[in-house]
Amino acid sequence: MIQRIATPSGTKAVLEKYDLYAKKNYGQNFLVECGIVEKIARHAVISDHCAVIEIGPGIGALTQYLCEYAQKVIAFEIDQRLEPVLNDNLSDYDNFTLVMEDFLTVDLKKYVNPLYEAGLDVVVAANLPYYITTPILFRLFEYGDDIKAITVMMQKEVADRFSAETNAKDYNALSVITQYRCEVQRVCKVPANVFQPKPKVDSAVLQFRFRTDTPLIDEAAFFELVKECFRQRRKTILNNYGEYLGNKEKAGEILTKAEILPTARAQSLELSDFVRLYEVQYER
């Protein structure tokens, strides 16, 4: 029978065997609840011909399940202490490749292209190191739609921002920019007590899938416009947008043409409103 790592006793045994402790500066909180790990893996592996890119395998709790459900798993781990641990713990799986590198600087194309060319659905799965959740996700978003789905755990309050809908208290520029690129699905909430060591906050799992109907626009300019519209949440869109343009009168004209009420606030606008505003401003 396979020895599961994602249990309190399984994790304790591995840490003791290798004389390891969780490193805070690498965001190490190991999952010790098989049910949650299995759920993440099942969601992440979206077809019967999937290759998974895992970020931060730790001691291999999630990796075990991914290796069982997917055709291929390539895991990127920064903590050099974990190399022998992962190689031992996953020695039963011949579809596992370990890359001991910082995911933020790795040449991702080198790994993704051959998988994509082999006709595999490339997906990402991770219990993310929380200190670099946003840089990792933006790296993946910029990488684009060769990646079919990104299923990741993060701090719940960050997940709330990524997935917030119009008028919600967490709806902000990050929500709009993310939802411009991806459909965001909330998979589940995860309580703090299923980790070792236990973090101070709860977590949540989200799945991102790239949209196929994204309008063709200059993304840098669009993202700047969205951020500026949210600059001061309490101010009206006319005030924020007017300050951004440096011309309140012109801002009023563009807003009216884009059919946006000047007295509205950014948090009440839909993604399609921001796209229209961009299109009117740039006369597209």
Q: Which residue ranges make up the site for ligand SAM (CB under 6 A)? A: 26-31, 55-58, 61-62, 76-79, 102-104, 127, 129, 132
Residue of this chain nearest to ligand SAM (CB atom): 56
| Residue reference for tokens 């399609």 | 272
Min separation Cβ 133 and ligand SAM, Å: 10
Comparing CB distances to ligand SAM, the nearer of 62 and 254 is 62
Distances in whole angstroms, Cα of residue 200 to Cα of each of 52, 103, 195: 29, 25, 10
Min separation Cβ 61 and ligand SAM, Å: 4
Comparing CB distances to ligand SAM, the nearer of 11 and 163 is 11
Comparing CB distances to ligand SAM, the nearer of 44 and 164 is 44
Distances in whole angstroms, Cα of residue 204 to Cα of each of 31, 130, 189: 13, 12, 4
Comparing CB distances to ligand SAM, the nearer of 32 and 275 is 32
Min separation Cβ 168 and ligand SAM, Å: 26
Q: Are 78 and 98 in contact (CB under 8 A)?
A: no
Q: Are 51 and 71 in contact (CB under 8 A)?
A: yes
Min separation Cβ 33 and ligand SAM, Å: 10
Comparing CB distances to ligand SAM, the nearer of 29 and 178 is 29
Comparing CB distances to ligand SAM, the nearer of 89 and 172 is 89
Taking the C-alpha atoms of residue 259 and residue 274, their distance in angstroms, rounded to an integer, is 11
Taking the C-alpha atoms of residue 219 and residue 196, their distance in angstroms, rounded to an integer, is 40
Min separation Cβ 116 and ligand SAM, Å: 21
Min separation Cβ 191 and ligand SAM, Å: 15
Q: Are 175 and 161 in contact (CB under 8 A)?
A: yes
Closest CA to 24 of 268, 197, 282, 260: 197
Comparing CB distances to ligand SAM, the nearer of 74 and 280 is 74
Min separation Cβ 139 and ligand SAM, Å: 10
